[in-house]
Amino acid sequence: MGLYKEGIKQAEEASGTFERVGDTANQARCLIDLALLLDDDRQFDVGEEAASRAIDLLPENGQQLPVCQGHYVLGKIYTSKGNTEKAIHHFEVALGIVSSLGEASRAFWIHFHLAKLFSREGRFDDAHTHVEQAKSHAVHNTYLLARASLLQARFWYRQCMFEEAKYEASRVLSVFEKLGVTSGVERARKLLGQIDRNARGNCLATPDELDDDLWWWVPQNNVTCVCVLTSCWDGITEFE
């Protein structure tokens, strides 16, 4: 709902309650939710502290998923803070854990974020590798597969491989139209329009102009194709 201040208050109260009764596992889970909310509210330093504390509270054995979530949240926070090196490190730690758990949807999002980070560093070979991995974890989810494909179209565009970008964006546009994802349709059309303008001699769009962190919404139709994401894992900004 975007009511971050209310969510932060509730997460802090819940964390305090679990701390008083000595339930460190649930306290850590509350701290992870708190860190996500703080990241969304752009309180990055406090969010970093909450996520780091959550990881410290959890034992290495028997709590793999919450530990993975903690590193994932730190990856998001360091991305927001512009610390790419630390962001990649924590995403890779999370990926190492989730790979042993067989959690396809979580693996998708980690690869997705790593792909974006590497693309921003100009490391397109690594970016394409991770976006392909993301797609492999979304073979049974048309919506997520289209998301990853549109991200890859942006990579082609930024590499000035306009035919590849246009082909991929056109294909994704058709998918989003069938799914009723209005925001996805708009984003694909925006990229196709930029490709067309470039063909007429205009400049490339900047990465920020094509970034997709805060514009996705739930499809209006065929919602059975959507991977339902919980606030504990991806947060509001991940329900893109």
Domain borders along the chain are 107-240
For residues 34-47, give the mean pLDDT: 90
Q: What is the pLDDT of residue 102?
A: 76
For residues 149-169, give the mean pLDDT: 94
**107-240 CATH pick, 1.20.1330, 1.10.3470, 1.25.40, 1.20.120:** 1.25.40
User: Cα separation of 168 and 52, whole Å?
Assistant: 39
User: Cα separation of 69 and 86, whole Å?
Assistant: 15
Q: Residue 12 burial by CB count (10 A; 0-12/13-18/19+): exposed, middle or buried?
A: middle
Mean pLDDT computed over every residue of the chain: 83
User: Cα separation of 18 and 34, whole Å?
Assistant: 14
CB-based contacts of 177, cutoff 8 Å, min separation 6: 185
Model-level pTM? 0.78
Q: Half-sphere exposure of 120 toward its Cβ, with a 13 Å CA cutoff?
A: 20
Residue 231 has pLDDT above 60, yes or no: no
pLDDT band at 211 (very low <50, low <70, confident <90, very high): low
Q: How far is CA 114 from CA 129, 151, 156, in A?
A: 10, 12, 16
pLDDT band at 104 (very low <50, low <70, confident <90, very high): confident
Q: What is the pLDDT of residue 82?
A: 87
Highest mean pLDDT among 51-60, 65-74, 200-209, 211-220: 65-74
Q: What is the pLDDT of residue 60?
A: 63
Residue 88 has pLDDT above 90, yes or no: yes
Q: Picking from 89-98, 126-135, 146-155, 192-201, which range would have the lowest pLDDT averaged per residue?
A: 192-201
Residue 232 has pLDDT above 50, yes or no: no
User: Cα separation of 14 and 48, whole Å?
Assistant: 18
Residue 192 has pLDDT above 70, yes or no: yes
Q: Picking from 178-192, 195-209, 218-232, which range would have the lowest pLDDT averaged per residue?
A: 218-232
